[in-house]
A and B are shown apart, each in its own frame.
Chain A
Amino acid sequence: MKVNTVYLLLFAGLLFFSCNQGAKKGEDGQIVIGASMLSLQSEFVVNVKDAMEAYAREKGIRLIVSDAQRTADKQVQQIEALISQKVDAIILNPCEVEASSPAVEKAKAAGIPLINVNSETTAVPDGFVGSHDEESGEIAMEEIARRLGGKGNIVIMDGYMGQAAQIKRAIGAKKILEKYPGIKVLAEQTAEWDRAKAMSLMENWIQSYGNQLNAVFAHNDEMGMGALQALEQAGLKDKVVVVSIDAIADALQAVKAGRLDATVYQDAKGEGEGAVEMAIKMAKHEPIEKTSVFIPFQLVTRDNVDAFLK
């Protein structure tokens, strides 16, 4: 009896506490923007979210952020919830190209402007702020080709198989590889975006290809860092080029220290701010010059790394 009451109180308290952070609907005409993000366990997405929140605070609007945890189905539900809350605009950071499309269509049907941030869906949204993910794969592979002089043996670490980012980065890399017949892909394998798995995979590859290997391309920096560590432990780093994508803080530090050869910067701040800015304009029905804003990727090497380190 007594224990039950305590549980109940705790439970109620917890509910109150967690609700408190969410549900205050904008008072006196304050603009409310809802957002559903791919995954708040990904550092890059967290950076985009932080930029969005900072910009929203600066502009005095309310931003509701939900985490789709890489599940398109959950993402569609979150958009439905935002629609029923009658937000003024929605920012969608899609989980999947196809499977997140119903979210776009539902917002359209409800007459709420929707902006895709970072990546695309099949259904065309009202606005888009982001990059072509293929481009990142192209830039990274071009850098590897440049460093190897168009000739050598490489291995590729894929992201989680079947996810949009993995598919597009792979397409971009393949496009460049076709230009350089001298570059041979010894092996291609997924390490599921995970540093520990990448490290194990690289250790195993070192056993099979140790002395023939000239470069590693990893679909993200986490895996790039894992590969880097495995190479360093095997004493092979000075013989092997490692290039990855995302320019997370750890990777930038590694570039500065001369450990990681290059990473590809995706402008989280530019994307986040751009998306919120467009959303505010659409909510206020102000004219917009361009409904598609492409924020280019940039190659980060030791020469320009300081500009990206804040």
Chain B
Amino acid sequence: MSSLKANALSAFLIKYGILIAFLVICILLSIATPFFFTSQNILIVLRQVSINGILAIGVTFVIITGGIDLSLGSVLALTGVVAAGFAHPDTYPLIVPIGLALMTGLIIGAANGFIITLGKVAPFIVTLGMMTIARGLALVWSGGRPVTNLSPAFNYIGGGDFLFIPVPILLFLLVIILSGVTLKYTRIGRYIYAVGGNEEAARASGIRVNRVKLFAYILCGLLAGLAGVVLAARINTGQPNAGIAYELDAIAAVVIGGTSLMGGRGSIMGTVIGVLIIGVINNGLDLLNVSSYYQQIVKGVIIIGAVLLDRRGG
């Protein structure tokens, strides 16, 4: 039966379309430049994507509940300068800057979540407001200047290796595993899908919808805090103007990865592949020395193309 064969093919594409797109991009880049497919370059790409990756995983949770978080980039900057402020050499033990940054991210996420659920305000509006609030807080905290002179122990988080693997990559991996398990194997993970898929039905099934949403926004803020620490450690400064428009890269990665902006559908693995696609494109275009102007066009075309290929089956 030809129709059955076509069905099998479309089912295959639905499941693996985006992975195929990723592999195609990788193969094309390997042919185009000898510098792409080397172990060193692969490590570099992974290290570069780890920050966007951690952000994207956080916002995946929010998007599956049917929400959005536009405050990510600003939260990244805020938590970065907060961490940097406590990370000067010979001041506090390492746990203090990390703990405070994560706590800051968590509080911002909780604020987003509470206003969205209890205040019944659209996530787009709340997080848009929080975007400028967090940016303002970052500028106030840092006085508009980069916070520099950070301890080597802190910088190790962004630039160090552990067992020959860069620390940011290890952190990214840890986040992938923990969040993947949470989404796939725990009740809260299932509830997140249910709330995004049909909030009314979830409520009628006895799920406390507001708590589930709150969890997603808090986790998203917390991970933005972690990304802020990694970024500050990577560039050895807390930059109040870092991370502008990073939320868009993160959301793009999530959508490329097959998560529906309407909620109810998506996966961590999809997001990881989305993040890798963006990372590989950035890296490859630099390796090929494509002009800055054309890079932007090429990037946009590839993003839309990848999603189109993914939707083919659907």
A and B touch in the complex (CB under 8 A): yes
Residues of A within 8 A of B (CB): 40-43, 46, 158, 161, 186-190, 194-196, 199-201, 203-205, 207-208, 222, 225-226, 229, 233, 248-250, 253
Q: Which of B148, B235, B242 contacts A253 (CB 8 A)?
A: B148
Contacts of A225 in B (CB 8 A): 235-237
Contacts of A207 in B (CB 8 A): 35-36, 38, 40-41, 44, 283, 287
B144 within 8 A of A: yes
In the bound assembly, the distance between CA atoms of A194 and B237 in angstroms comes to 12
Besides the contacts A41-B139, A225-B237, what 10 more A-B pairs have beta carbons closer than 8 Å?
A187-B289, A188-B292, A189-B289, A190-B292, A204-B283, A205-B286, A208-B35, A208-B289, A233-B159, A250-B148
Establish whether residues A40 and B292, one from each chain, have CB atoms under 8 Å apart when the complex forms. Answer: no
Measured CB to CB, the closest approach of chain B to A70, in angstroms, equals 10
Chain B interface bracket (under 10, 10 to 19, 20 to 34, 35 or more):
35 or more
Residues of B within 8 A of A (CB): 33, 35-36, 38, 40-41, 44, 47-48, 51, 139, 143-146, 148-149, 159, 231, 234-237, 239-242, 282-283, 286-287, 289, 291-293, 295
20 A–B contacts, CB within 8 A, in A order:
A41-B144, A46-B145, A158-B292, A188-B292, A189-B286, A190-B292, A195-B237, A196-B231, A196-B239, A199-B234, A200-B283, A201-B286, A203-B44, A204-B282, A208-B289, A222-B146, A222-B239, A229-B236, A233-B159, A250-B148
A204 with B286: in contact, given A189-B292, A196-B234 (CB under 8 Å)? yes
Measured CB to CB, the closest approach of chain A to B291, in angstroms, equals 8
Establish whether residues B146 and A43, one from each chain, have CB atoms under 8 Å apart when the complex forms. Answer: yes
In the bound assembly, the distance between CA atoms of A151 and B269 in angstroms comes to 48
Establish whether residues B139 and A40, one from each chain, have CB atoms under 8 Å apart when the complex forms. Answer: yes
In the bound assembly, the distance between CA atoms of A203 and B235 in angstroms comes to 13
In the bound assembly, the distance between CA atoms of A194 and B246 in angstroms comes to 12
Contacts of A205 in B (CB 8 A): 286
Contacts of A195 in B (CB 8 A): 235, 237, 239, 242
In the bound assembly, the distance between CA atoms of A214 and B287 in angstroms comes to 17
Establish whether residues B289 and A200, one from each chain, have CB atoms under 8 Å apart when the complex forms. Answer: no
Establish whether residues B144 and A43, one from each chain, have CB atoms under 8 Å apart when the complex forms. Answer: yes
Measured CB to CB, the closest approach of chain A to B122, in angstroms, equals 17
In the bound assembly, the distance between CA atoms of A43 and B143 in angstroms comes to 9
- Shortest Cβ distance from B240 into A: residue: A41
A199 with B235: in contact, given A41-B241, A43-B145, A249-B148 (CB under 8 Å)? yes
Q: Which of B41, B144, B235, B291 contacts A40 (CB 8 A)?
A: B144
Contacts of B234 in A (CB 8 A): 196, 199
Measured CB to CB, the closest approach of chain B to A182, in angstroms, equals 21
In the bound assembly, the distance between CA atoms of A275 and B182 in angstroms comes to 58
A203 with B48: in contact, given A46-B144, A196-B231, A250-B148 (CB under 8 Å)? yes
Establish whether residues B159 and A229, one from each chain, have CB atoms under 8 Å apart when the complex forms. Answer: yes
Q: Which 7 pairs from chain A and chain B are nearest by CB? A: A204-B286, A41-B241, A190-B292, A46-B144, A195-B235, A207-B35, A250-B148
Measured CB to CB, the closest approach of chain A to B52, in angstroms, equals 10
Measured CB to CB, the closest approach of chain B to A188, in angstroms, equals 8
Contacts of B144 in A (CB 8 A): 40-41, 43, 46
Q: Which of A41, A42, A226 contacts B235 (CB 8 A)?
A: A226
- Shortest Cβ distance from B287 into A: residue: A208
In the bound assembly, the distance between CA atoms of A5 and B83 in angstroms comes to 36
- Shortest Cβ distance from A39 into B: residue: B241
- Shortest Cβ distance from B149 into A: residue: A253
Measured CB to CB, the closest approach of chain A to B136, in angstroms, equals 10
Q: Which of B241, B282, B292 contacts A161 (CB 8 A)?
A: B292
Establish whether residues B143 and A46, one from each chain, have CB atoms under 8 Å apart when the complex forms. Answer: yes
A200 with B282: in contact, given A40-B139, A229-B235 (CB under 8 Å)? yes
In the bound assembly, the distance between CA atoms of A174 and B231 in angstroms comes to 33
Contacts of A188 in B (CB 8 A): 292
Contacts of A250 in B (CB 8 A): 146, 148, 237
Measured CB to CB, the closest approach of chain A to B22, in angstroms, equals 18
Measured CB to CB, the closest approach of chain A to B304, in angstroms, equals 22
- Shortest Cβ distance from A210 into B: residue: B35
Measured CB to CB, the closest approach of chain A to B37, in angstroms, equals 11
Contacts of A222 in B (CB 8 A): 146, 239
- Shortest Cβ distance from B41 into A: residue: A207
- Shortest Cβ distance from A40 into B: residue: B144
Establish whether residues A204 and B159, one from each chain, have CB atoms under 8 Å apart when the complex forms. Answer: no
A208 with B237: in contact, given A41-B139, A43-B144, A46-B144 (CB under 8 Å)? no
Measured CB to CB, the closest approach of chain B to A248, in angstroms, equals 8
Contacts of B240 in A (CB 8 A): 41
